[in-house]
Amino acid sequence: MRLALVIDYALDYLGGAQSAFLDAARVLEGSGHDVLVVAPMRGLAEATHGLIGDNVGVPAGWTLPGVDLPVIRNTPTLREQLRREFSWQGVESVQVHSEFGLAAAAIQVARELGIPTVHTVHTFFWTAAVPAPLAPIAALGVRGVARWLRGYGPSGHGLADSPLDAALRGITHSLAARADQIVSPSAHQAAALRHAGLGSVRVIPNPDAACTEAGTPLTHLDGPLRVAWVGRLSPEKRPEVLAEAGLLAAGIVGVDALRIEFIGAGPLTGRLRRWQRRGAPIRLTGRLPRTGVAERMRRAHLVVLTSYGFDNQPVVVIEALHESRGVLVADPALTEGLDTGAALRTATPDVAGIAALLVDLVRDPARIIAASAAAERAAQTFAPARYVEALCEASRLDAIPA
């Protein structure tokens, strides 16, 4: 097939949606499909290096501060550009991976041309931390900006308890409702989308597009328990919960029994350094390329995922399982690849629950060995061939419910 993959996010920004988007492009192209990448111009050439397909860079007038989102509006000029590209390139399916102006324009043009559209939802669990009295005002602002960007506002007000969170989730909901087919990489997000009134939701886990050989399962633990945390150092990912849990666990098993490495960058870097100064057994490595992340995971005995109620289907899980490493998980809703013994789940998602599990694992490393062996098997959940077959089925016009 000739597929157009569209995203509003700059591809030089650290984020799971960008990683999953590029992984999808790579495995689709590797399976013989033609891929047209449509994304903001910033970082496009570098991010798509190695892809033999075409790409279309769309300039952004400016970047929204705080979230580093290129501002691209759904304008007649943009739609005409996409109309020419889709027609000239013979695009057979338009696949959007975001919810803003560029994605809205792509879906509008595709529908005008009679091209099937697929919306892969990378998160429906938008949240924003603002004082409660300001939430209604902020929600009005979000709704106005969404309408200005896309030509239509978010869906109704009942998608979350907070009016601001409802407005943010309404951005995703209103665009997904315009697509022919909705894809959710996780079952729990698919359930939430269906509960919100969206039909035709398929669960297709993100693919493993690693260019390195798979890691080897652990047979023993050498030295202290080495833990890797990977992602953006931001509140919704909860890295501070792990730092505090590490300090608590080290007070029980000894500071030399545990090593925690944070791989990534973000607004909480300074706060994590304060935990380091307080004696938490942590190291801040900063952002690394994905090959560097893979190397660090192989050095570790375990990968930790501390998010709770936010993530859809984290790319870090795919990366960990590819390296045959078990995953310590705080969110019971996360199941893709983790319901086969590869997950080491906390009794509670808080500091105490994570610390208690870390202490248990230091004292009983056999559980880590077993999770590592299960991870090698669980990695097949994200096999590229499975992803390509399922996505192409979802992309066919005759497979889309009327």
CB-count burial class (<10 Å; 0-12, 13-18, 19+) for 297? buried
3-state secondary structure of 44: helix
3-state secondary structure of 310: coil
> What are the residues whose beta carbons fall under 8 Å from the beta carbon of 365, sequence distance 6 or more?
220, 221, 225, 301
Q: How far apart are CA 208 and CA 211, in angstroms?
A: 9
Q: What is the CA radius of gyration of the chain?
A: 21
pTM of the model: 0.90
- Closest of 402, 388, 398, 364 to residue 183, by C-alpha: 388
Q: How far apart are CA 143 and CA 140, in angstroms?
A: 5
- Closest of 140, 143, 139 to residue 154, by C-alpha: 143
- Tokens coding 148: 């200005």
Straight-line distance from the first to the last Cα atom of the chain, in angstroms, rounded to the nearest whole number: 22
Q: How far apart are CA 42 and CA 141, in angstroms?
A: 26
3-state secondary structure of 27: helix
What are the chain's domains?
Answer: 2-207+383-399 (3.40.50.2000), 225-382 (3.40.50.2000)
Please give the chain's pLDDT, 402 residues, in tens.
999 999 999 998 768 899 999 999 999 999 999 999 999 988 888 888 777 678 999 999 888 876 778 999 999 999 999 999 999 999 999 999 999 999 999 999 999 999 999 999 999 998 887 888 888 999 999 999 999 999 999 997 789 989 999 999 999 999 999 999 999 999 999 999 999 999 889 999 999 988 778 999 999 999 999 999 999 999 999 999 999 999 999 999 999 999 999 999 999 999 999 999 999 999 999 999 889 999 999 999 999 999 999 999 999 999 999 999 999 999 999 999 998 899 999 999 999 999 999 999 999 999 999 999 999 999 999 999 999 999 998 887 544 554
In the sheet where 326-329 sits, what is the strand order? Answer: 282-286, 258-263, 225-230, 302-305, 326-329, 343-345
